[in-house]
Amino acid sequence: MSDLCLQVAGEEIHLLPERALFWPRGDMLVAADLHWGKAATFRAAGIPIPGGTTSSDLARLDTALDRTGARRLVVLGDLFHARAGRVATQTVADLRRWRRLRTELEILLVRGNHDRHAGDPPDHLRINCVNAPAFIPPFILRHEPHEAAAGYTLAGHVHPGLVLTGPGLQRERLPCFIFGARLAVLPAFGSFTGLVSVDLVGGERLFIVAEDEVVPVGEAGVCQPPLMPPLVSPPRL
């Protein structure tokens, strides 16, 4: 695995090929749009979708947690896809088993639009749930992307992807991180979420997830310069 290091708001962060972000000083892994139980929701509606997506996503989450040693996990909204997925027997069993192996992990969910319909996760998962925005200075954590003057925003919701074309006219859409001066959008962590094509906008930088590495678009190197100056005395709200 090859992570990519950035300086954002005076903090070192790592972009992970597992489609998550790690903040070492905060000992915190940040992921967006897990959409647990989405395949189960489709099957409940009579659509023949193969199972196993939740267990494979949990394995990828375990990889990120083990590699970083993060003690906290923050989910930027859409933990569950729908209420039907939240109560699906196999999904619940997989999550209960996983949580028993991660008893020391603190989990915070910043509610997103799907969470409002699905409802909060079952009590046995021991997940603290809050409405957006949540503040862990210098970062503002929310589901839907909105800049704020009080800090640097980390968000999800968009499921960003970038279409790459090769010399043989082959095309592939890959998940990506988007970083602007005061706002970053993380890729969807869930493997059964779909991608929305995005374009590079002035002042933004894109980093694609290409198998086991994160690659800056149109740039070389691993560590990138700061995207914004450190905040002075960030508010503790």
**pLDDT > 80? residue 20:** yes
Residue-level length of the chain: 237
Count Cβ neighbours within 10 Å for each residue of 163-201 and write b for 16 or more, e otherwise. Answer: eeeeeeeeeeebbbbbbbebbbbbbbbbbbbebeebeee
- Residue 3 CB partners (closer than 8 Å, separation 6+): 14, 15, 16, 17, 22, 214
What residue type is 166 in one-letter code? G
166 pLDDT more than 90:
no
- Residues 207, 216 contacting (CB under 8 angstroms): yes
227 falls within a domain: no
Assigned domain for 109 exists: yes
DSSP 230: P
- What distance in Å separates the CA atoms of residue 159 and residue 107, rounded to the nearest whole number? 21
* Whole-structure pTM value: 0.84
Question: Is 230 within the bounds of a domain?
Answer: no
- Domain range for 202: 4-216
- Mutual angle of helices 89-100 and 53-68, in 10-degree steps: 20
Averaged pLDDT of the chain: 83
Residue 222 lies in a domain: no
CB 40 within 8 A of CB 88: yes
- pLDDT above 90: percentage of residues in the chain: 58
92, part of any domain: yes
- Measured distance CA(63)–CA(57) in Å, rounded: 10
The vertex-33 CA angle with 57 and 91, nearest 5°, equals 45
Alpha helices by DSSP H, the chain: 38-44, 53-68, 83-86, 89-100, 113-118
Whether 158 maps to a domain, the answer reads yes
CATH code for the domain of 140: 3.60.21
CA dist., res. 20 & res. 113, Å (int):
20
The tens digit of pLDDT for each residue in 22-56 reads 999 999 999 999 988 755 554 444 444 445 578 88
Task: Indicate whether 98 belongs to any domain.
Answer: yes
- Local confidence band at 226 (pLDDT 50, 70, 90 cut-offs): very low
Query: Model confidence at 170, in pLDDT bands (50, 70, 90)?
Result: low
- Would you say 5 and 12 are in contact if contact means Cβ atoms under 8 Å apart? yes
Give the C-alpha separation, 122 to 87, whole Å. 9
Residue 199: inside a domain: yes
Domain tally, the chain = 1
